[in-house]
Structure 1
């Protein structure tokens, strides 16, 4: 395990941690409450966290995608840290002292940045929004211009995609012995919501003591829907703050950006996901803005933007609702 702790000179009760990704601090393919924590923190501690992506494609990757630490993980990860059949390599879990089932974990995403000048995109047979039309596997490594914050795709096409990095997976463990990392759910997980960039927060319900939060699946850029299964997947570093919220009681993840409140819905169809995202937004408006259910329903039709999050994390598709904070004359306190 590799981590360092530093006390905040302005608040000695708060500590700052550095959590590197090593074969002792990552896990593959899913979530499990049986995992030994990679780090233990107090509420309101901050963490510089390192993540790697591409466990199953490292042998096909160019040299600039590989680091000695990543190779060590890919070649020497212990069997007990291979949780399920998902493709995601996650850093954690992080144990939060005093966290109990029924509490909420607030995750503030202070900084997010790719750590490598390259990422990859993969088409997997049988997956994606159009598996019958694109049945053949395809793996592409895409250079990242970190100085200008763009990726050109295809190469020499003049098509320049702005880099807007985020973590595709932000989640906590559940009472099940193991849970595959592919579908998102009430615990968070593989949400793939590109709105959750630096400066945003996500609130996750807690289901086991310590919360056991894990993070990974770095995306340098992604469109809503993530329609061919992957974004520009790459290794990602971030700075996060974990705060235990015993004053909140959610049963599903809720996000907040600088401009919007975000509710989420996950279902086997987009209709089901939309219905849940809408119900969750109505519930939020009732609880925190004192609107009646009917008033909240009408406001959702007038001012909330519902968007497709992703359609490829079988069996759960995702829809999220964006509530603009600017429409309120007073700050929503929650």
Structure 2
């Protein structure tokens, strides 16, 4: 196993989407670890305070090559990372070992026509929010005494598909813009692989977010992390599954919350059938008794997200993927 360092530069990031035609930013073997750097705020950098701007980030914003601008999404992603021997039908296990903001400031933006209440909050608004990294909190509004714990995670964890210009906004079976705040350091996500090498990309750092991400953004933050990438040829998945220290997580993405809930539930039933040998009916009952279904996000048009959380503690011995 080898340890790599992947800095964010004009040659190692891409904007707005995923593409299997992108030149890989890094090639790794299964089991390798990567220290990865990500930036956020490509479209608002000219409005940002000095502490939000680094020379490397400004260079990306001013000089990113046209071939690394993929689609119309707002996200700046680091990658793709090519995993040797990865083939369609395999599963990529991404272990999130360390996640930490790289700058003492993030931002929140209301965008016209987006969010859960676009008819009520019609005017765009951009706020930069200081991060107290020493005490791991953000105070908002300023001087209010309201202190939000920082729980950093990457909103986007995804692989490429045969589509060459997939927009980074909607999540799907490839992962992508999941925006699941449960995926903090110590968790793992398992992604179906669709193209040779997997072509994994990461970004959209969030320092804090509520379930739903209702105004369309969290505290958006340039974020560093350490990840490990492992091929799981022993698994067969058609949708992402995640594991935290306490829970197994299935996901559903659809145009309505009802449909997303139904998909997350069906995925949990299928998981229980495959991994615990329960019948479909037994799994359905167990979901009603013990699984917690939560709104992931409602703003990544056209897909809303719901995730189901299965406590590992109810199994003896304790379950793990």
TM over 0.5: yes
Equivalent position SS for 1:276: helix
TM-score normalised to structure 1 length: 0.96
Total equivalences in the alignment: 321
Mapping of residues 1-334 of structure 1, within 5 Å: 14-334=1-321
Equivalent position SS for 1:315: coil
Equivalent position SS for 2:176: strand
The Cα shift of 1:333 comes to: 4.8
Q: Deviations over 1:3-41 (max 9, x none)?
A: xxxxxxxxxxx0000000001000000000000000000
For 1:3, the equivalent position in structure 2 comes to none
Q: Distance in 1 between matches of 2:116 and 2:14?
A: 28
Q: Distance in 2 between matches of 1:331 and 1:307?
A: 23
In structure 1, stretches of 5+ residues that fail to align are 1-13
The Cα shift of 1:172 comes to: 0.1
The Cα shift of 1:331 comes to: 2.7
Q: Distance in 2 between matches of 1:142 and 1:191?
A: 23
Q: Deviations over 1:175-226 (max 9, x none)?
A: 0111000000000000000000000000000000000000000000000000
Distance 1:61 1:20, change over 3 A: same
Q: Deviations over 1:112-151 (max 9, x none)?
A: 0000000000000000000000000000000000000000
TM-score normalised to structure 2 length: 1.00
Following TM superposition, the consecutive aligned residue runs of length 4 or more in structure 1 with deviations greater than 3 angstroms are none
Equivalent position SS for 1:272: helix
Q: Deviations over 1:152-194 (max 9, x none)?
A: 0000000000000000000000001110000000000000000
Equivalent position SS for 1:242: strand
Equivalent position SS for 2:261: helix
